[in-house]
Amino acid sequence: MRVLLLVLLLTGCSGSNTDPVSTLKLETPRPFGYLIGDEIPFKVMIETDVGVTLQAASIPATGQVNRWLNLNQVQLQQRELHGRWHYELELRYQVFYAPLEVKLLTIPNFTLQLLQNGKEISQIVPAWAFNISPLRELSIRKTANGEYKRPDALPLLLSTTTPWTGVVIALCVAVVSGFYLAALYGLLPRIFKRHVFRRASQQLAKLSKADMDQALSCVHHAFNTLNQRPLFHTQVHDFYRRHPNYKQMHEQVDWFFNYSNRYFFSNGMIAVALDVDKLKQLCEQAQKIERGSQ
């Protein structure tokens, strides 16, 4: 009985995992059907104890492995899971072997170095074999136009009519929406009011001193439109604050409002041709300001 217990105890101790690399797994693609220039992704997964670290210097460097094999890309990912290190080493090889017939090639093995308590441990990643095929048969056949090899036929172009129609419709909707928004924000009157004095000048050109009512009204209308509300003589300072460019013609503006007040609201005012000319000059001056030339 004592002997049996001792055997069991020894068996339990000997069963404990003392290997620093508990798992080494390769994830490889299909091992056949490769052509010259193909890339082969190759993944090595290693699981170690927490105290074991993979030496980065032992990871294969990118570049030429041998005459027909290049290592294009190396990527290492490391994470801790359930108290163990998980390394994922992704390698991307490219084959440049030009076989004359189907041939078996082997990606050579390599050794990874791991460090545990200052002690180096080697872990060999095994070689991996695969088949590579020629691009064409050995004896090259010819056609009437020479060699039969040719580029791939160009793909058929997709019709762009429908997307373009959609773009045009979307643009139209955007423009209409833009105008609608501008109207909601009150920007449209601002656009139209840019030329208020040009229109006033055009109307004044057709009027004479006999039409002084209309002449004054059309200048008032221009000022009101620019001001976005009726403008009275007592409010011109506020008008200049919002339209400082017009302050330079304050003498003409004062004359206009005084004249208009006398004409419309007091009795016995007689218009003369000179007054119409002064109104026209006022409009021309204001037109220059709204054009930005003054």
Task: Give the x-and-dash track for 204-233 against another protein (CB under 8 A).
Answer: ---------x--xx--xx--x----xx-xx
Least distance to another protein, CB of residue 179, Å: 21
CB under 8 A: which stretch of 94-102, 142-150, 264-272, 285-293 binds another protein?
264-272
C-beta of 136 vs 262, nearer to another protein: 262
The verdict on 192 binding another protein (CB under 8 A) reads no
The verdict on 237 binding another protein (CB under 8 A) reads no
Least distance to another protein, CB of residue 175, Å: 27
In degrees, rounded to 5, the angle at the alpha carbon of residue 164 between the alpha carbons of residues 163 and 169 is: 100
Least distance to another protein, CB of residue 236, Å: 11
* # residues contacting another protein (CB under 8 A): 17
The verdict on 159 binding another protein (CB under 8 A) reads no
Selected from 14, 145, 267, 293, the binder of another protein by CB under 8 A is: 267
Q: How far apart are CA 279 and CA 257, in angstroms?
A: 11
C-beta of 97 vs 263, nearer to another protein: 263
Selected from 14, 162, 234, 293, the binder of another protein by CB under 8 A is: 234
C-beta of 97 vs 232, nearer to another protein: 232
Structural contact between residues 138 and 98, judged by C-beta atoms closer than 8 angstroms: no
The verdict on 266 binding another protein (CB under 8 A) reads yes
Using DSSP bridges, classify how beta strands 52-54 and 39-49 pair: parallel, antiparallel or unpaired.
unpaired
Least distance to another protein, CB of residue 202, Å: 20
Least distance to another protein, CB of residue 264, Å: 4
C-beta of 71 vs 216, nearer to another protein: 216
Q: Please report, as ranges, the residues that interact with another protein according to CB under 8 A.
A: 213, 216-217, 220-221, 224, 229-230, 232-234, 260-261, 264-267
